[in-house]
Structure 1
Amino acid sequence: MSDIVKSFAKSRLAALPPEPPLPEDHEDDSSSASSVSSTGTVVPSATLKPAVPLSWSDFFAQELYLERRVDSPQCTAKFHVYITPPSAPKAPLLILHHGAGSSALSFALFALELKKMLPQAGILAVEAREHGSVVWDAGGQVDTDMSIENLSRDMLDMVLLTREKLGWEELPRILLVGHSLGGAVVTHVAKSGELGDKLLGYAVLDVVEGSAMDALKSMRSYLATRPPMFKTLDSAITWHIRSRTLRNSESARASVPSLLVQTPTGGWTWRTDLTSTEAYWENWFNGMSHKFLTARGAKLLILAGTDRLDKELMIGQMQGKFQLQVFPAAGHFLQEDLPEKTAEAIVEFFRRNDRSTIKLPPKVSELLAQGKKV
């Protein structure tokens, strides 16, 4: 088992409940990072200031609900997305997909940093079914089938419905970015080829097939340690920081409230029942390395630690088939822990592979038409 899996399992089994409060001098040697290098870190004390939630409007221009219909008026899906449209005709669109149990707002601070570096770029952050979007089957029942095929189809539909909603004549050039489960989804979409020549490339954040499959063995233990309910949003945000699930308090204030729903008694419980998704865990990641290496488009893999690549990825890296970066200071939610650094890596990756900036020499026929000697 690689270091990333050992650290993952250790952190999950050591996760702390939100109440009662920990002593002010308590230190936690657990880490939800993908690297053992960040263990032994002192967690924030029990005297933290109130964690006031941040609004989605601080990070995105619009919140959209997109309906997918059949021939009849019956709605078959209601997708939830956040978007900041491209501000120039040839500007790219970055499509962001979150991980399991997370939400589009896990990219909130990342989106803010990215807009500073690529002001004209568009950003579309989508939410999967059972994570903010709802899909119904033909009988009108909620469809909870979260297979990689369905999640990928949902994401493609959200892209097409966004184009229709905003009246775009055609899709912009696209860069896919996926964290954890989202990395598996964007890889599957890239492999499908349905985005055609609009796809510039795809970036996968902190997920590798081999390590993911190994980490699934400890997923039940991790889910059993999570508090089933929080009294307030403040206590939920504080738990994510003090348990080292997230390392960035501002990002926690933006993303954590979207992970919860209020109960009739006033408490807050998890929006997504991850236990019910167990039947799909292997389906999400099985064969991901092969798809990642063989899909068309530029490829970027960012890991939060010294993960051991499987044989297929190691060979692919030596052959220069993808770009690899490691952020040892980050936890698993690297786009939340280090939003600026993650945005810098994505922007550099985009600029390196942006074909629109390449100026090809004139064709011989064009030179001859101009009366020039060749």
Structure 2
Amino acid sequence: MPPPPPRASRRHRDGFGVDDARGGRRASDENPTPIGAESTLMPPPPPPPRSHCDPVGWRECFDECHDVRVRGTNDVFRVYVSRPTTRDEGDSSDSTLPNDDDDDDDATVPVLFCLHGCPYTALSFARFAQEMKRRTSKRARCVVVAMDLRGHGATKTEDERCENDADADGAPGAAGVDFSAERLVADVVAVTTQLYGGTGRKVVLLGHSMGGAIATRAAAAMMTKAREDDAAREDAANPRARVVRVAGLVVVDVVEGTAVESFNRAEVAMAARPRRFACARTAIEWAVRAGGVTKNVHSAAASFPSQVPSDEASGSHLRWRTDVAKTRPHWDGWYAGLSKLFVEVKTPKLLLLAGTDRLDVDLTVAQMQGKFQMVVFPNASHATHEDEPGATSVGVAGFIERYVCRG
């Protein structure tokens, strides 16, 4: 769902075995602001220098890019991988951990599997992944994996190919991309199971906005499957049953009540977007100054170009990769019952919010009962991880160190 226009507020808002496809308070990006802490109102950001609006490739923030074909289908999902660096005492040089395919890979290092919102892409986590690598200690190392969901980014699925072929032929009745919660959850379960099922490796699901809703539902589905397959996992004849070991859930700025309330404003924002952009630099500048995508030009330079790739038909303009209007019928399905499900998922949980006013009644009660951890970034907008990637990485790394690595 596209970010809604800013609301009036007292706070300022403004292995793989796959085919290789070769900043809390503004004054300190290091420290997220816990609930109840005082915050400093910050002025709106000045227009970004034009040089900062040059697009940045994925290699600046991630180590690897892969296309994962789900077994038994023609669906191919793009994933980006950032591996932690390990530092020996007294040695200031960093070295990247071996690939998952290598026998000497440290399988105790958990995976942080990131799911973007609509119409973002996996590269929405580019700067966050970069900060996770730079800031995390040995006690909280993790592999950051970000996935392009169906109908987004560089992912290519059979239903989208059929839709495109039908559009090209002028044929009526094309079903189109299935953006339903059930389909997106099935995709996430299939990809994570194919990559990490049966490995014993801890997987923490992190999702922003729509991705947070899908992460919550996927975590519940995978934990249910793990319980059902308990006998298979214990069976000596099948010691590597393909079950994903969910070790945590992180949700970024999505709450059922406030999400539903924002539908009308999101539709207004969707209708007001430019249909195309002349170049990537113009698109990035719009994303920061007027689009409400992020207030961080460095994040926008890494993430926004993947949302508006070149128009294959004209070749001279950039057009939206995802038609948000086609996702509208599924918004209710993404968020219905989300707060209750989030509270009920029996795994350590962290909720990152851009303001405490985003909490609905169910989550307010659950938070007071200590059923999940929460960090508030009062100076961030909807894309907290893009606005303040450093502060977000500190909050997530602390959660992983305390609840995942020690678990």
TM (norm. structure 2) is 0.73
8 Å Cα contact 2:124-2:299 kept in structure 1 = yes
Of 173, 190, 209, which aligns to 2:202? Answer: 173
Aligned residue identity for 1:125: A
Of 283, 293, 309, which aligns to 1:245? Answer: 293
Q: Label 1:99 to 1:12 Cα distance change in 2 as closer, same or farther (>3 A).
A: farther
Distance 1:242 1:350 in 2: 34
Of 144, 150, 158, which aligns to 1:136? Answer: 158
The 5 Å alignment of 1:219-368 reads 219-243=266-290, 244-263=292-311, 264-354=314-404, 357=406
CA drift of 1:40 comes to 8.3
The residue number in structure 2 matching 1:365 is none
- Higher RCO (CA 8 Å, separation ≥ 6 residues): 2
Distance 2:4 2:188 in 1: 30
Q: Label 1:140 to 1:217 Cα distance change in 2 as closer, same or farther (>3 A).
A: closer
CA drift of 1:12 comes to 8.5
Question: Structure 1 unaligned runs (5+)?
Answer: 1-7, 14-28, 359-374
Which secondary structure state, in structure 2, belongs to the residue aligned with residue 83 of structure 1?
strand
Distance 2:161 2:358 in 1: 45
8 Å Cα contact 1:12-1:222 kept in structure 2 = no
The 5 Å alignment of 1:123-202 reads 123-132=144-153, 133-137=155-159, 144-163=177-196, 170-192=199-221, 193=223, 196=226, 198-202=245-249
Q: Which moved more, 1:269-278 or 1:46-55?
A: 46-55
Task: Spell out, residue by residue over 1:169-223, the C-alpha distance to the aligned partner (whole angstroms, 9 max, x if none).
Answer: 6141111110000100110011112574721110100010000000012222111
Q: Label 1:125 to 1:139 Cα distance change in 2 as closer, same or farther (>3 A).
A: closer
CA drift of 1:9 comes to 4.8
Which secondary structure state, in structure 1, belongs to the residue aligned with residue 75 of structure 2?
strand
Distance 2:122 2:293 in 1: 17
Q: Which moved more, 1:316-325 or 1:83-92?
A: 83-92
For these two proteins, the number of residue pairs brought into alignment is 323
**Given the alignment of the two structures, is residue 206 of structure 1 paired with residue 206 of structure 2, yes or no?**
no
Percent identity of equivalent pairs: 33
8 Å Cα contact 2:61-2:127 kept in structure 1 = yes
Q: Which moved more, 1:110-119 or 1:183-192?
A: 110-119
CA drift of 1:67 comes to 1.1
Which protein is bigger by CA-based radius of gyration? 1
Which secondary structure state, in structure 2, belongs to the residue aligned with residue 302 of structure 1?
strand
The residue number in structure 2 matching 1:92 is 110
Distance 2:264 2:206 in 1: 26
8 Å Cα contact 2:115-2:207 kept in structure 1 = yes
CA drift of 1:147 comes to 0.9
CA drift of 1:154 comes to 0.6
TM (norm. structure 1) is 0.79
CA drift of 1:160 comes to 2.6
CA drift of 1:158 comes to 1.7
CA drift of 1:44 comes to 2.8
Distance 1:68 1:99 in 2: 21
Aligned residue identity for 1:229: R
Task: Spell out, residue by residue over 1:94-125, the C-alpha distance to the aligned partner (whole angstroms, 9 max, x if none).
Answer: 00000010011111111111112156421110
CA drift of 1:237 comes to 0.4
Of 3, 11, 17, which aligns to 2:6? Answer: 11
CA drift of 1:47 comes to 6.0
Aligned residue identity for 1:199: V
The 5 Å alignment of 1:42-121 reads 42-45=44-47, 48-49=50-51, 51-70=53-72, 75-85=73-83, 87=97, 88-116=106-134, 117-118=136-137, 120-121=141-142
8 Å Cα contact 1:11-1:30 kept in structure 2 = no
Q: Label 1:198 to 1:242 Cα distance change in 2 as closer, same or farther (>3 A).
A: same
Question: Structure 2 unaligned runs (5+)?
Answer: 15-38, 85-96, 98-105, 165-175, 227-243
Runs of 4+ in 1 over 4 A off after TM superposition: 29-32, 37-40, 137-143
